[in-house]
Amino acid sequence: MKKSVHKFIRNYQLLEGVRSVLIAVSGGPDSMAMLDFLWKNREWYNIRILAAHAHHQLREESADQDLLTVQNYCLEYNIPFFSKRLEVKEYAKANRMSTQLAARELRYKWLEKLTIEENVEALITAHHGDDQIETIMMKQVRGYIPIQAPGISVRRPFGNGYLIRPFLGITKAEIENYCNEEGILTRIDESNFSTKYTRNRYRQEILPFIKNENSQAHVQMQRQNQWLEDDSAFLMKLAESELNNILVQKKEAHYSISCDSFQSIHVSLQRRVITLILNYLNIDNSPFPASVHIEQVMSLIHHTDPSKQLHIGAGVFVYRDYNLCHFSRRKVSHETNTDSIEELVLPGVTKTAIGEIHSTFLEEDMEVREGRNQLILAYDEHAPLFIRTRLTGDRINPIGINGTKKISRLFIDRKISQSLREKWPLLLNKEGNILWVPLLMRARGVEPIKEKAIVLTMKPTEEIINNLNG
């Protein structure tokens, strides 16, 4: 293991020009091994070592033990040690996110501040080769924009310096062996075993299969990821200069490009140009665009349909005007309009003809009961969400029934009046699939993924309640 890590650090020149590092230590075997390894090799690399531990105040007793484990090691070797109690629960509540996400966000914010204050060139985390495999597999399955590398970066800009991961070339088993051999005291994170978290399911189900096929899969994936990262960085640079060539107009919330010029560049750069523009317009950094948005814009530009306007999400609209393609950010109305498609406000309240749809992020202790008036779904898979009224040919894959059902048939079966049928909201996901006809039917296969799930609740008007009861 020691040899592999030295080789990895040398090959990627991870500590070149680095004089001091801050190691993020949770108390688990990975980061304790990192602390021990770099401490014992500090003279070889000529680096100053500092350590930091974030106390998330979640599982109080065990979190105190985590802190003590790291603190004791640092005391023993006289390593400068920093720790902070982070208000994770409050932050999660205020930002309507899971406690896991909140802990990560707060931790990285604090660590970034520390690296700047302590004037260190690098933050070091102990992500390893197994983490790399899990991350790549999760991204492949869940979906990501394949113009970037899917895995964990060996090095990326962070604070005034870099975030570095020297263990990406070795496995968890190698790290555990190292801890045993060196007699390092470590803590076990119980949450690593719960199948409630997506990553743990991959760790338990997918990882053993891959390792059985090729015990060096982590080395392969690490290399592939690095090559993809280098290729993407190069192509993105090219796309930036192509964008300048095809740009006809650029205003604060508006970009116009020439379709002819766009079509003359390579398809690989076309996708990147669209991504660049959509990202420039995405001021609040919501998780967007998705690859499906890029495909939609590509087809808008290639197959001229002048009447077509795309609503990408985050208030960004794309439309054509002869040889021009316009990208424009507008304010999204919070009330639905019967003849257009609107993005659902997340989290928030959207008024519809039959009542209000309340959307919130799922909290750990929230009581929810899925039914016709409530839907829970995975944010990453489905958002942005849209609502619109029915169109001819609309169908849903109902839960509990094989095959699809016509929305028009559903309205007839449930004796919804003709005038209400025209106003009834339908909920669609980013791919345009109908997920929910509020109060009437849910689609199959929209089970929540606990990491970041949205709860949608329809609060119908009195009139609708009476109508449905009657």
Ligand X SMILES: Nc1ncnc2c1ncn2[C@@H]1O[C@H](COP(=O)(O)OP(=O)(O)OP(=O)(O)O)[C@@H](O)[C@H]1O
Annotated binding residues, written as ranges, equal: 26-31
Stretch of residues binding ligand X (CB under 6 A), selected from 47-55, 288-296, 376-384, 431-439: 47-55
Complex with ligand X: residue 81 or 386, whichever CB lies closer: 81
Q: d(Cα 385, Cα 438) in Å, to the nearest integer? A: 14
Q: d(Cα 147, Cα 402) in Å, to the nearest integer? A: 36
For the bound state, the minimum distance from the C-beta of residue 127 to ligand X, rounded and expressed in Å, comes to 5
Q: Where are the beta strands (DSSP E) in 131-244?
A: 155-158, 161-164
Pairing verdict, β 374-378 and 453-460: antiparallel
Complex with ligand X: residue 53 or 329, whichever CB lies closer: 53
Complex with ligand X: residue 77 or 108, whichever CB lies closer: 108
For the bound state, the minimum distance from the C-beta of residue 258 to ligand X, rounded and expressed in Å, comes to 40
β partners of residue 85: 55
Cβ pair 269, 238 in contact under 8 A = yes
For the bound state, the minimum distance from the C-beta of residue 365 to ligand X, rounded and expressed in Å, comes to 21
Sign of CA dihedral 315, 420, 382, 194: positive
Q: Does 30 bind ligand X (CB under 6 A)?
A: yes
Q: Which of 2, 89, 96, 104 binds ligand X (CB under 6 A)?
A: 104
Pairing verdict, β 355-361 and 453-460: antiparallel
Cβ pair 189, 28 in contact under 8 A = yes
Complex with ligand X: residue 26 or 270, whichever CB lies closer: 26
For the bound state, the minimum distance from the C-beta of residue 195 to ligand X, rounded and expressed in Å, comes to 16
For the bound state, the minimum distance from the C-beta of residue 384 to ligand X, rounded and expressed in Å, comes to 23
Q: Which of 5, 21, 22, 26 binds ligand X (CB under 6 A)?
A: 26
For the bound state, the minimum distance from the C-beta of residue 40 to ligand X, rounded and expressed in Å, comes to 17
Stretch of residues binding ligand X (CB under 6 A), selected from 9-17, 19-27, 225-233, 280-288: 19-27
Q: d(Cα 34, Cα 165) in Å, to the nearest integer? A: 10
Complex with ligand X: residue 163 or 453, whichever CB lies closer: 163
Q: Which of 14, 33, 54, 269 binds ligand X (CB under 6 A)?
A: 54
For the bound state, the minimum distance from the C-beta of residue 101 to ligand X, rounded and expressed in Å, comes to 8
What are the residues whose beta carbons fall under 8 Å from the beta carbon of 177, sequence distance 6 or more? 1
Q: d(Cα 328, Cα 27) in Å, to the nearest integer? A: 48
For the bound state, the minimum distance from the C-beta of residue 112 to ligand X, rounded and expressed in Å, comes to 12
Show the site string, 200-219: x = touches ligand X by CB under 6 A, - = not.
Answer: --------------------
Helix or strand or coil: residue 243?
Answer: helix
Q: How far is CA 250 from CA 247, 255, 318, 327, 347, in A?
A: 7, 5, 14, 10, 31
Conformational region of residue 254, where left means phi above 0, alpha means psi within -120 to 50, and beta covers everything else? beta
For the bound state, the minimum distance from the C-beta of residue 379 to ligand X, rounded and expressed in Å, comes to 17
Residues in contact with ligand X, counted by CB under 6 A, come to a total of: 13
Q: d(Cα 12, Cα 260) in Å, to the nearest integer? A: 42
For the bound state, the minimum distance from the C-beta of residue 3 to ligand X, rounded and expressed in Å, comes to 21
Cβ pair 16, 46 in contact under 8 A = no
Complex with ligand X: residue 103 or 210, whichever CB lies closer: 103
Complex with ligand X: residue 61 or 213, whichever CB lies closer: 61
Stretch of residues binding ligand X (CB under 6 A), selected from 48-56, 74-82, 246-254, 429-437: 48-56
Complex with ligand X: residue 14 or 52, whichever CB lies closer: 52
Stretch of residues binding ligand X (CB under 6 A), selected from 46-54, 177-185, 237-245, 354-362: 46-54
In 48-87, where does DSSP find H-type helix? 60-77
Stretch of residues binding ligand X (CB under 6 A), selected from 21-29, 222-230, 298-306, 360-368: 21-29
Q: Which of 22, 36, 53, 229 binds ligand X (CB under 6 A)?
A: 53
Residue 83's φ and ψ, nearest 5 degrees, are -145, 155
Q: In 10 A of CB 214, how many CB atoms? A: 11
Complex with ligand X: residue 49 or 357, whichever CB lies closer: 49
Q: Does 69 bind ligand X (CB under 6 A)?
A: no
Complex with ligand X: residue 153 or 360, whichever CB lies closer: 153
Q: How far is CA 219 from CA 153, 169, 171, 172, 216, in A?
A: 14, 6, 9, 13, 5
In DSSP notation, 189-210 reads -GGGS-TTSHHHHHHHHHHHHH
Q: Does 383 bind ligand X (CB under 6 A)?
A: no
For the bound state, the minimum distance from the C-beta of residue 144 to ligand X, rounded and expressed in Å, comes to 15
Q: Which residues in 115-134 contact ligand X (CB under 6 A)? A: 125-127
Complex with ligand X: residue 104 or 351, whichever CB lies closer: 104
Q: d(Cα 373, Cα 454) in Å, to the nearest integer? A: 14
Task: Name the binding residues for ATP.
Answer: 26-31
How many Cα atoms occupy the beta-carbon half-sphere of 31 within 13 Å? 26
Burial degree of 324 (CB within 10 A; 0-12, 13-18, 19+): middle
Interface contacts to ligand X, rule CB under 6 A: 24-26, 30-31, 52-54, 104, 107, 125-127
